Amino acid sequence: MSMQKPEHSSAPIQPEKRARMLGLVTLIFVLAGLIWAAWWFLRGQYWIETNDAYVSGNITPVDNQTAGTISRVLVENTEFVHAGQVMATLQAHRSRIALQQAGAHLAATVRQVRRDFARVTALQQTVSAKNAELRKLNADFIRYKQSLPSGAVSAIRLEDTQNEIAAATAQVAAAQAALKGTQAIIAGTTLQTNPLVRQAAAQFEQADIQWQRRVVRAPVSGYVAERTAYPGLMVHPDQHLFSVVPLNDLWVVAN
């Protein structure tokens, strides 16, 4: 006797259950879309993928400011430096000699101008004394001339006095010329405002600037790049020695 296997048949899904499943799937897709849209608005639109990109920033060049030969280099590429830190130094014998010469010239000029002020005072006194002597000789000449007819004074004495007057007049003129020449140097000035002193002081300041420029310092804080300086290199003004890249202002350049 043969037995017949029962047939397994799946019950049909009820419409209500099918609608609930379809609504659930739709809700999942809607939520996923909302999540993706929120991610794109907040992060995705700023996210870029590329195989050709590099980091850039405001690169600060460090150029040499005076002619000379580099004696020491104290930093390397990728090394972090602080603003004002010494990066390199130049040989200082030339700038030191120039500074010493400028200082000596300034000191000599100050002494000379002081002597000129003192000379003006001395020449003023000399002119006054010579004028007083000339006035006395003129008075004597008049008195001698009046006494000549009576024989109280000889003609020789009168002639000698006249010669003394001429000599005294020449001395007064020479003293006045020397006084005017010296006054022209210091007229309307003090020791601090005298043109010669100010010129010598400016030369000293320029020499001091050149002396200070023998030291190359970092203008900003950042990382060293593009180093072209090395000991023994002869450099000239405006020659590029380093670059400094600060980290507070960087960006990515993507192609």
- Would the pTM of this model clear 0.85, i.e. be above it? no
**What Rg do the C-alpha atoms of the chain give, in angstroms?**
49
Q: What is the DSSP letter of 222?
A: E
Cβ atoms 216, 74 nearer than 8 A: no
* Length of the chain as a residue count: 255
pLDDT in tens, 131-157: 888 888 888 888 878 877 776 767 787
* Angle (deg, nearest 10), helices 195-212 and 93-147: 170
Q: How far apart are CA 74 and CA 85, in angstroms?
A: 10
SS3 per-residue string spanning 58-91: CCEEEECCCCEEEEEECCCCCCEECCCCEEEEEC
Residue 71 sits at φ, ψ, to 5 deg, of -100, -35
Over residues 22-28, mean pLDDT: 78
| pLDDT reported for residue 110 | 93
On the question of pLDDT at 194 being above 70, the answer is yes
Please give the CATH topology (third level) of the domain spanning 51-91+214-255: OB fold (Dihydrolipoamide Acetyltransferase, E2P) (2.40.50)
On the question of pLDDT at 7 being above 80, the answer is no
Task: Average the pLDDT over each of 20-29, 43-52, 108-117 and give the range with the smallest value.
Answer: 43-52
pLDDT in tens, 30-88: 888 888 888 777 776 666 677 776 666 778 999 999 888 999 999 999 999 999 999 99
Domain positions in the chain: 51-91+214-255, 93-211
On the question of pLDDT at 178 being above 70, the answer is yes
